[in-house]
Amino acid sequence: MDCNVRNANYQRVMAVIEQVLLEGSRDLCFCQRCMNDVAALALNYLPPHYYVEQDGKRELGSPWLMVETAVREAIERVKELPHHHR
> Is the model's pLDDT at 67 over the cut of 80?
yes
Residue 9: how many other CB atoms lie within 10 Å? 23
The better pLDDT of the pair 27, 51 is held by 51
In angstroms, the CA 41 to CA 62 distance is 15
Query: With contact defined as beta carbons under 8 Å apart, do 8 and 60 qualify?
Result: yes
Res 86 pLDDT > 70: no
Note the pTM of the prediction, 2 decimals: 0.82
Q: pLDDT at position 28, please? A: 80
pLDDT in tens, 1-43: 677 888 889 999 999 999 988 887 777 888 999 999 999 999 9
Beta strands in the chain (DSSP E): 5-7, 50-52
How far, in Å, CA of 50 to CA of 53, rounded? 9
Highest mean pLDDT out of 29-33, 55-59, 74-78: 74-78
